[in-house]
Structure 1
Amino acid sequence: MTTDRREEARERTEFAEDRTILANERTFAGWMRTSLGCIAIGVGFHALFNKIDPPWIPRLIATGFLLLAVLVIVLAERRAAAVIDRLNAHVVHTARRMNLRLFAGTISLGAATFAVIIWLLPISAG
């Protein structure tokens, strides 16, 4: 193989790595949207069905969705960070692991806060 062909092969490999890094970031964003959707379902479920008797049932179901949101975002962050560690960016600027952790932590904190608020809200009669 000539030097030019080796250089072309190396460049194709670098571009493929860059595309994989960008795909990883899009995948993380998709899982982040899924996590936010779980939060919305949990809060919405509690808001719509808070009159169900006994009152702990809608709270429990809403809390389940909120915990699912935390699980989804934490697993997505770990997976995205593992991919970032394995690949080397060549042309693109990759997301920093700290930014992924910041997103995951913020979403987790928000979901946990909603869960606490749901359980602390007074039970409305009737």
Structure 2
Amino acid sequence: MADDTPSRSELAEDRTDLAEDRTLLANERTFSGWARTALATIGIGLGFHVLFGALEPAWLPRVIATIFIALGVAIIWMAERRACAIQARLSAHNIHTLRSLNMRLIAWVYTVGALALLVALWLIDGAATS
């Protein structure tokens, strides 16, 4: 009669595989959290410009908004680098993970959107005040 119960080492491997899967999912949640922080930072920059656009000199609210928007771009790229590095060290066993290419794509979309916002911030306001 064969014993179908898994050995201690097989159970330990299963626990390790599950822990690795949980770590990968936690990494994705962390990336998502940093992406939200980046969007919030970009939003703070835009909001600052809208609320304090009448400050003198006229370039001051734009510069402050630009700093916040640039900070948002830096945050998303730091999050992408960290998330991709962690994902490269681990391997999924029972889950489908977000691929590194998708995280990079998200970072690029945030960057292009932030740069478009900066261009609009500087050009449209400049055109309206002249």
For 2:79 and 2:12, how far apart are their aligned partners in 1? 32
User: Which runs of 5 or more residues in structure 2 are unaligned?
Assistant: 1-5
Task: Name the residue aligned to 2:24.
Answer: 21
Structure 1: distance between partners of 2:55 and 2:13: 62
The TM-score, its normalising length taken from structure 1, stands at 0.94
1:116 Cα offset (Å): 1.2
Letter aligned with residue 95 of structure 2:
V
Equivalent residue number for residue 87 of structure 1 = 90
Superposed, which structure 2 residues align to 1:84-123 within 5 Å? 84-123=87-126
Provide the residue aligned with 1:55 in structure 2.
58
What's the TM-score once normalised by structure 2's chain length?
A: 0.91
Distance (whole Å) between structure 1 residues aligned to residue 36 and residue 109 of structure 2:
13
Quote the RMSD (CA, aligned, Å): 1.1
Count of equivalent residues: 123
* Structure 1 residues not aligned, in runs of 5+: none
Aligned counterpart, 2:8: 5
Larger Cα Rg: Structure 1 or Structure 2?
Answer: 2
Q: Is the partner of 2:31 in helix, strand or coil? A: helix
C-alpha distance in 2, partners of 1:33/1:60?
A: 22
Deviation at 1:122, TM superposition (A): 3.2
